[in-house]
């Protein structure tokens, strides 16, 4: 009976930790944005805003956000207007805003999410984590606006836009810590970025093949990504 009770309590604790509150806020152009807010147990000082890859949704972070929560961070997983679905989670922002739009059209969504996180969650610090196209956008936006993020994590960035220097031309202005990684065979897409960043910049190349985007964290090589990411966060973005 005691073992059964402990099991029930453990399951309940997991559900409580993993609970996501669906919220919404508006981009500057008026489009309503959907996001999932998850908070860790106890107090926290930092929220990490999570942006998905092409064709995806906030569901990309279904199994990643709870790990960050256990590290003491609040998370805000955002549906951007350029996307569709992931892990069975429909992108509600894309459904309102067209879905199949250029990646750069999502910039107002990223800006709005960062502002909302800084103003409404009670955190002193805001980190951003991007995946694929959004990983390129977070680098550029952090270079354009110091208030966008206090630290940047970028999974599989590249020059994915019509302006093939959109990311590069904003890197020298970065003044916050940056972590960049990708699948091993994508390393050439971002190694050049490190040379242009003047702030603290960590580039991580996995020993295994890895995977494109933030889902590298839940790939067969996920453990090595987590080791590197946890070290970066501990050094540059305090949870409490």
d(CA 120, CA 143) in angstroms, rounded, equals 23
Cα 116 to Cα 139: distance, rounded to the nearest angstrom: 19
Q: What is the mean pLDDT of the chain?
A: 93
Tell me: pLDDT of 7 over 50: no
Mean pLDDT computed over 84-98: 95
Digit-coded pLDDT (tens) for 8-54: 333 333 433 458 999 999 999 999 999 999 999 999 999 999 999 99
Q: Which residue, among 155, 157, 151, has the nearest Cα to 217 in the 3D structure?
A: 155
Which pLDDT score, from 0 to 100, does residue 100 have?
Answer: 79
Q: What is the largest CA-CA distance in the chain?
A: 64
Burial class (CB in 10 A: 0-12, 13-18, 19+), 2: exposed
- Residue 78, Ramachandran bin (φ over 0: left; ψ between -120 and 50: alpha; else beta): beta
Q: Using CA atoms, how far apart are residues 70 and 72, in angstroms rounded to an integer?
A: 5
Proportion of the chain above pLDDT 90, given as a percent = 90
How many distinct helices (H) and strands (E) make up the chain? 8, 10
Tokens of 70: 């256990």
Nearest CA to 68 among 77, 79, 80, 59?
Answer: 77
What are the structural domains, with CATH classification, of the chain?
A: 2-236 (3.40.50.1820)
In tens, the pLDDT along 163-196 reads 999 999 999 999 999 999 999 999 999 999 999 9
Average pLDDT over residues 75-100: 95
Q: How far is residue 14's CA from residue 29's CA, in Å, rounded to a whole number?
A: 38
Among left, alpha and beta (phi > 0; psi -120 to 50; other), residue 191 is alpha
Q: Record the tokens describing residue 98, joined without a space.
A: 């067209």
Question: What is the tens place of the pLDDT at every residue in 103-146?
Answer: 999 999 999 999 999 999 999 999 999 999 999 999 999 999 99
């Amino acid at each position: 009976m005691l073992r059964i009770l402990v099991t029930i309590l453990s399951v309940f604790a997991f559900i409580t930790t993993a609970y996501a509150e669906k919220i919404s806020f508006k981009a500057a152009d008026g489009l309503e944005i959907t996001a999932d807010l998850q908070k860790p147990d106890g107090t926290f000082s930092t929220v990490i805003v999570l942006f998905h890859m092409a064709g995806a949704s906030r569901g990309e972070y279904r199994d990643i956000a709870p790990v960050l929560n256990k590290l003491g961070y609040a998370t805000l997983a955002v549906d951007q207007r350029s996307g569709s679905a992931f892990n069975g989670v429909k992108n509600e922002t894309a459904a309102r805003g067209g879905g199949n739009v250029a990646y750069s059209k999502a910039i107002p969504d990223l800006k709005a999410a960062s502002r909302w996180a800084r103003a409404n969650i009670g955190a002193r610090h805001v980190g951003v984590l991007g995946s694929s196209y959004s990983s390129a956008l977070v680098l550029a936006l952090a270079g354009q606006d110091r208030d966008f993020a206090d630290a940047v994590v970028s999974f599989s960035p590249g020059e994915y836009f019509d302006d093939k220097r959109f990311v590069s031309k904003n890197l020298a202005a970065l003044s916050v810590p940056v972590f960049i990684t990708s699948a091993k065979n994508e390393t050439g897409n971002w190694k050049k970025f490190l040379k242009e960043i003047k702030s603290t910049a960590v580039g991580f190349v996995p020993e295994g093949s890895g995977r494109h985007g933030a889902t590298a964290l839940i790939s067969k090589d996920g453990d090595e990504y987590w080791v590197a990411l946890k070290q970066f966060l501990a050094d540059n973005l305090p949870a409490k």
